[in-house]
Amino acid sequence: MKVAVVGATGLVGSVMLKVLAERNFPLTELIPVASAKSAGQKVEFKGKNYTVVTMDEAIGMKPDVALFSAGGSTSLQDAPRFAEAGTTVIDNSSAWRMDPDKKLIVPEVNAHVLTSLDKIIANPNCSTIQMVVVLNPLHEKYKIKRVVVSTYQSVTGTGVKAVEQMMNERKGIEGEMAYPYPIDLNVIPQIDVFQENGYTKEEMKMILETKKIMGDDSIQVTATTVRIPVMGGHSESVNIEFENDFDLAEVRGLLEDEEGIIVVDDPANLKYPMPMDAHEKDEVFVGRIRRDESQPKTLNLWIVADNLRKGAATNAVQIAEYLIQKNLI
């Protein structure tokens, strides 16, 4: 199993290498790929140094799998070139997510739709992944009518430059800006660009991707996505209205039984999920589980996950593991 990691010098790519190593992914050859400026650099994997190669060199090596996290335009241009060479691409950018011919996968929810014909598979947006992992078991049991979500997103979601901006501001150093405003000691209610309807692209991703992954266009979603000066993970306040009423203890039980979810919900002992606890973990954490007392059949939740892990690298590696397990590559 030859595995290319495209964007290996980036934030998601470097976590991808860690996750592949930790999970003992059955690879026989690792091909780290980045832009021409990084070719020749070394990256470490399982105690060995590997030389970063260019896209063309990597395509020539015909990997079995390419895990892409190198931006949308790179994916649009180069993922089809890998696919033509017989490689199965799992892409972290937004380039292919809403393409009706491409599958958008969160393994806990919809891996069963994958076939060996899927050569470019899309990994959803980080804030969508952590939300649907929690919504799915609740939808199966109580049928969701509407979701209102507000996010509190980590600077690591923007990449290396954003982390540098925050750290520079913290040290009083003038440097390159990844955001239009200072992020340290601030909150920016804009993630990605504004659309004609007044929502941002990140908000529209959460709305459209949720329906596609869960295979149900009837689920209504409205989102407000916000960047906060935090590292370690994204947090979400989620309000869910169901068709059918629920029992709170049963909701907790359903979530506790779900693989990949950890319930941290003990207000009496001040236990709830926080990004500093989710950091470098693969699971999605849920807490503050309570009835919305303002209307019937409605639940409030607080969801936290490491956006570089379950929101990106871990989800992509889990997709690859599923393909191998089912002999689809």
Ligand X SMILES: NC(=O)c1ccc[n+]([C@@H]2O[C@H](COP(=O)([O-])OP(=O)(O)OC[C@H]3O[C@@H](n4cnc5c(N)ncnc54)[C@H](OP(=O)(O)O)[C@@H]3O)[C@@H](O)[C@H]2O)c1
Q: Which residue has the tokens 């490689």?
A: 87
| C-alpha span between 201 and 170 (Å, rounded) | 28
Number of residues that bind ligand X (CB under 6 A): 29
Please give the angle made by the CA atoms of 143, 146 and 149, to the nearest 5 degrees: 125
Q: Which residue has the tokens 């000691």?
A: 185
- Determine if 10 is a binding residue for ligand X (CB under 6 A): yes
Cβ(205)–Cβ(96) below 8 Å: no
- Determine if 38 is a binding residue for ligand X (CB under 6 A): yes
Select the span of 3-11, 132-140, 165-173, 297-305 touching ligand X (CB under 6 A): 3-11
Sole binder of ligand X in the list 312, 317, 320, 323 (CB under 6 A) = 312
Catalytic residue among 112, 139, 234, 279: 234
Please identify, using beta-carbon distances, which residue of 64 and 306 lies nearer to ligand X. Answer: 306
| C-alpha span between 267 and 221 (Å, rounded) | 28
| C-alpha span between 122 and 140 (Å, rounded) | 23
Sole binder of ligand X in the list 4, 7, 111, 204 (CB under 6 A) = 7
Show the tokens assigned to 24. 């003992």
| C-alpha span between 181 and 188 (Å, rounded) | 8
Sole binder of ligand X in the list 12, 263, 278, 301 (CB under 6 A) = 12
Cα of first residue to Cα of last residue in the chain, in angstroms, is: 9
Measured over all CA atoms, what is the biggest interatomic distance in the chain, rounded to whole angstroms? 60
Amino acid at 233: G
200: nearest Cα among 308, 94, 57, 88 = 94
Sole binder of ligand X in the list 4, 19, 27, 34 (CB under 6 A) = 34
Q: How far is the CB of 80 from ligand X (least distance, A)?
A: 14
Sole binder of ligand X in the list 159, 182, 211, 239 (CB under 6 A) = 159
- Determine if 37 is a binding residue for ligand X (CB under 6 A): yes
Catalytic residue among 112, 126, 139, 279: 126
Query: Is-catalytic flag, 126?
Result: yes
- Determine if 157 is a binding residue for ligand X (CB under 6 A): yes
Query: Is-catalytic flag, 234?
Result: yes
Q: How far is the CB of 50 from ligand X (least distance, A)?
A: 14
- Determine if 151 is a binding residue for ligand X (CB under 6 A): no
Cβ(109)–Cβ(128) below 8 Å: no
Q: How far is the CB of 40 from ligand X (least distance, A)?
A: 11
- Determine if 264 is a binding residue for ligand X (CB under 6 A): no
Cβ(320)–Cβ(313) below 8 Å: no
Sole binder of ligand X in the list 17, 27, 67, 69 (CB under 6 A) = 69
Select the span of 35-43, 168-176, 181-189, 239-247 touching ligand X (CB under 6 A): 35-43
Sole binder of ligand X in the list 92, 130, 136, 298 (CB under 6 A) = 92
Please identify, using beta-carbon distances, which residue of 77 and 116 lies nearer to ligand X. Answer: 77
Please identify, using beta-carbon distances, which residue of 93 and 165 lies nearer to ligand X. Answer: 93
- Determine if 55 is a binding residue for ligand X (CB under 6 A): yes
Extended strands (E) in the chain = 2-6, 29-33, 42-45, 48-51, 65-68, 88-91, 103-104, 120-122, 144-152, 220-224, 234-242, 261-263, 284-291, 298-305
> How many other CB atoms sit within 10 Å of the CB of residue 316?
27
Q: Write out the catalytic residue numbers.
A: 126, 234
Name the site residues for ligand X (rule: CB under 6 A).
7-13, 33-35, 37-38, 55, 69-72, 74, 92-93, 126, 156-157, 159-160, 307-308, 311-312
